[in-house]
């Protein structure tokens, strides 16, 4: 289904670009985690894929094109059509950062049998003249012996040197030094194995200081089950420490401190874009009807304060994560974690009464505004529903579309409360005074009223 593949891939690129994400497509892969060793698992096949094996890391990942085709040179004509078709179609597409032609060639016991396909892939790709650089990624220098036949050739042919590191900081430092000596741009295109020593707080500053880009393995815990460590037998319970992945399926972080490290080092900590569609986010919220704390009355502030006091056992006027999330009694632990993260406006690990009150004001108002657009009352605000109402409030149909895009994190055309609250909450705080000043100022203003 050549046309279908190209169409679906183009759609994927559009979704990634909407969120400011560039893409490094990988065309071939010798890495396989087949648990059975059966032919239909070692080699890829079309049609319905088998369900994951419970407790097994990446249990249904198969190589592509698979050992059978790698070894059979008579099939290379089909592979050439595939490579030229994919790269040729997107050869000048700015959404693509670079092409990884072949992931870990020689893996799965193939060894040097993959050499010819590596070399052929570079030739086919160059014939269609892509503007993006080409690479072939492999394990780090501490795993691959420099001078190996495939590794030597792929380093000669790659425009960018890419490597994979699953280990402690010293392994990352070793690989960076090794590949930078070769005089070409360097990217770490696989990384993050907590139980093998990978560490966000230790590794990410090193990568930033060395000006080496990095792709971590795993965003959301899901079907591939890469939160389980590599193992020869299935895990019978959830691992105490995740191997890969950053988020639970509902969007809550596995480790909030890791997210803070990422935000701090990328300059995006607790911040949001100041504009959407060229319009300041504060103005967008105002046009949608948000008044924030300026719309609250004394009774509202007192009610939220009372709610806070009920969950503040030592009456010190602040919540720690342990108090609110770990020992809380209301809602689920994940829900409490989400509220805590949103309310902690200065990201200091403590939620004050003012931060809690402001967060309740922001979220209750946001839910009232957005859920009023749910015309069929099914709990999902679809794009058509939102744009119909928001276009009138914003007096700009295109702006309404862009606001919806910002809220629709997974680009599925339907937003739910936690999804849009994450963005709304950031916008409601961006460039404004701390919660203490905002709530104190509102109380002072209300005290002036007769």
Per-residue 3-state assignment (H helix, E strand, C coil) for the chain: CHHHHHHHHHHHHHHHHHCCCCECCEEEECCCCCCCCCHHHHCCCCCCCCCCCCCCCCCCCCCECCHHHHHCHHHHHHHHHHHHHHHHHCCCCCCECCEEEEECCCCCCCHHHHHHHHHHHHHHHHHCCCCCCEECCEECCCCCCCCCHHHHHHHHHCCCEEEEECCCHHHHHHHHHHHHCCCCCEEEEEECCHHHCCCHHHHHHHHHHCCCEECCCCCECCCCCCCCCCCCCCCCCCCCCCCCCCECCCCCECCHHHHHHHHHHHCCCCCCCCEECCEEHHHHHHHHCCCHHHHCCHHHHHHHHHHHHHCCCCCCCEEEHHHHHHCCCCCCHHHHHHHHHHHCCCCCCEEEHHHHHHHHHHHHHHHHHHHCCCCCCCCCEEHHHHHHHHHHHHCCHHHHHHHHHHHCCCCCCEECHHHHHHHHHHHHHCCCCCHHHHHHHHHHHHHHCC
- Asked if the model's pLDDT at residue 34 lies above 70, the reply is no
Q: Band of the pLDDT at 270, cuts 50, 70, 90?
A: very low
What confidence score (pLDDT) does residue 261 get? 85
How confident is the model over 37-44, as a mean pLDDT? 61
Residue bearing the bigger pLDDT, 186 or 331: 186
What confidence score (pLDDT) does residue 215 get? 95
How confident is the model over 303-320, as a mean pLDDT? 88
Residue bearing the bigger pLDDT, 262 or 121: 121
118-127, 193-202, 248-257 — which is least confidently predicted? 248-257
Query: Residues of 304-321 as b/e, b for ≥16 C-beta within 10 angstroms?
Result: bbeebeebbeeeeebbeb
Nearest to 337 by CA among 252, 404, 443: 252
What confidence score (pLDDT) does residue 340 get? 87
Identify the bridge partners of residue 162 per DSSP, sorted by sequence position: 187
Instruction: Return the number of other C-beta atoms located less than 10 Å from residue 359's C-beta.
Output: 23
Residue bearing the bigger pLDDT, 33 or 98: 98
Instruction: Return the number of other C-beta atoms located less than 10 Å from residue 397's C-beta.
Output: 13
Q: Band of the pLDDT at 156, cuts 50, 70, 90?
A: very high
What confidence score (pLDDT) does residue 301 get? 95
What confidence score (pLDDT) does residue 136 get? 96
How confident is the model over 411-437, as a mean pLDDT? 88
- Asked if the model's pLDDT at residue 140 lies above 90, the reply is no
Please check whether residue 129 is in contact with residue 56, taking contact to mean a CB–CB distance below 8 angstroms. Answer: no
How confident is the model over 294-303, as a mean pLDDT? 95
- Asked if the model's pLDDT at residue 409 lies above 90, the reply is no
Nearest to 28 by CA among 120, 112, 144: 120
What confidence score (pLDDT) does residue 147 get? 54
- Asked if the model's pLDDT at residue 266 lies above 90, the reply is no
What confidence score (pLDDT) does residue 450 get? 66
What confidence score (pLDDT) does residue 4 get? 94
Average pLDDT of the chain to the nearest whole number:
89
What confidence score (pLDDT) does residue 37 get? 47
Q: Band of the pLDDT at 310, cuts 50, 70, 90?
A: confident
Q: Band of the pLDDT at 406, cuts 50, 70, 90?
A: confident
How confident is the model over 69-79, as a mean pLDDT? 96
Which domains can be identified in the chain, with CATH numbers?
A: 2-266 (3.20.20.80), 275-448 (1.10.238.10)
- Asked if the model's pLDDT at residue 40 lies above 70, the reply is no
What confidence score (pLDDT) does residue 132 get? 97
Please check whether residue 415 is in contact with residue 264, taking contact to mean a CB–CB distance below 8 angstroms. Answer: no
Name the CA dihedral angle for 265, 269, 271, 276, rounded to a multiple of 10 degrees: 40
What confidence score (pLDDT) does residue 250 get? 84
What confidence score (pLDDT) does residue 141 get? 53
How confident is the model over 246-261, as a mean pLDDT? 88
What confidence score (pLDDT) does residue 38 get? 46
């Amino acid at each position: 289904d050549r046309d279908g593949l190209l169409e679906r891939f183009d759609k994927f690129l559009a979704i990634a670009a909407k969120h400011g994400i560039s893409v490094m497509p990988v065309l071939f892969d010798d890495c396989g985690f087949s648990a059975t060793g059966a032919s239909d698992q070692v080699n890829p096949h079309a049609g319905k894929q088998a369900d994951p094996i419970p407790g097994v890391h990446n249990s249904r990942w198969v190589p592509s094109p698979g050992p059978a085709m790698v070894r059979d040179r008579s099939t290379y004509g089909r592979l050439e059509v595939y490579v030229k078709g994919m790269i040729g179609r997107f050869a000048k597409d700015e959404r693509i950062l670079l092409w990884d032609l072949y992931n870990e060639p020689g893996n799965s016991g193939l060894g040097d049998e993959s050499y010819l396909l590596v070399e052929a892939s570079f030739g086919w790709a160059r014939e269609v003249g892509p503007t993006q650089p080409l690479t072939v990624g492999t394990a780090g220098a501490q795993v691959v012996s420099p001078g190996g036949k495939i590794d030597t050739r792929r380093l000669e042919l790659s425009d960018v040197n890419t490597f994979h590191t699953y280990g402690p900081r010293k392994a990352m430092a070793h690989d960076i030094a090794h590949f930078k000596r070769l005089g070409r741009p360097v990217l770490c295109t696989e990384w993050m194995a907590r139980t093998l020593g990978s560490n966000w707080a230790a590794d990410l500053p090193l990568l930033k200081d060395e000006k080496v880009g990095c792709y971590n393995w795993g965003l959301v815990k899901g079907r591939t089950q890469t939160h389980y460590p590599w193992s020869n037998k299935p895990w019978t319970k959830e691992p105490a420490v995740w191997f890969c992945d950053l988020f639970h399926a509902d969007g809550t972080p596995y480790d909030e401190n890791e997210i803070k490290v990422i935000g701090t080092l990328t300059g995006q900590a607790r911040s949001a874009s100041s504009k959407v569609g060229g319009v300041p986010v504060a103005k967008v919220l105002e046009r949608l009807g948000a008044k924030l704390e300026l719309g609250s009355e004394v009774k509202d502030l007192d009610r939220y304060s009372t709610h806070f006091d009920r969950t503040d056992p030592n009456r010190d006027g602040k919540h720690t994560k342990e108090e609110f999330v770990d020992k809380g009694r209301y809602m689920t632990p994940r829900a409490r974690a989400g509220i805590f993260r949103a309310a902690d406006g200065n990201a200091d690990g403590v939620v004050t009464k003012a931060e809690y009150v402001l967060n309740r004001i922001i979220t209750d108002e946001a839910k009232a505004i957005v859920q009023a657009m749910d015309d069929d009352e099914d709990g999902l605000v679809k794009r058509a529903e939102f744009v119909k109402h928001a276009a009138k409030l914003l007096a700009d149909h295109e702006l309404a579309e862009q606001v919806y895009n910002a809220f629709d994190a997974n680009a599925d055309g339907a937003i739910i409360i936690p999804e849009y609250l994450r963005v709304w909450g950031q916008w409601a705080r961006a460039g404004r005074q701390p919660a203490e000043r905002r709530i104190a100022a509102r109380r002072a203003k209300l005290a002036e009223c007769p």
